[in-house]
Amino acid sequence: MPTNQLRVNIFGAEYVLKATENQDEIIKIAAYVDQKMKEIDRTQNLNSNMKLAILAALNIAEELFHAQTYQDRVFEQIDHEAKKLNRSLQDALDL
């Protein structure tokens, strides 16, 4: 196998992925997808790996959406506080 490829196992299937400089990250992501698929498989009676993969993708996308929404709120709060500090500094300099 060429050095720029990485083998991962997700839900019993092996995939050969193009490896980037951070192979550990790819391995962790593959393990996370595998974990999500196994969690869904334990709770749902699906007879299709495609449906299982789609549900896992939807769950992961929901997690990403919530994380991005939270990050946006945090950035807005930081921006608001930075503007308040800037106004306070300007007021102090104007004295």
Alpha-carbon distance 95 to 86, whole Å? Answer: 15
The per-residue pLDDT of the chain, averaged, comes to: 93
Alpha-carbon distance 71 to 94, whole Å? Answer: 34
What range does the domain containing 47 cover?
A: 5-94
**Predicted confidence (pLDDT) at residue 67 exceeds the cutoff of 80:** yes
Number of domains in the chain: 1
Given a contact cutoff of 8 angstroms between Cβ atoms, the answer to whether 8 and 14 are in contact is yes
Given a contact cutoff of 8 angstroms between Cβ atoms, the answer to whether 53 and 59 are in contact is no
Task: Report yes or no on whether pTM surpasses 0.85.
Answer: no
- 86: β partners: none
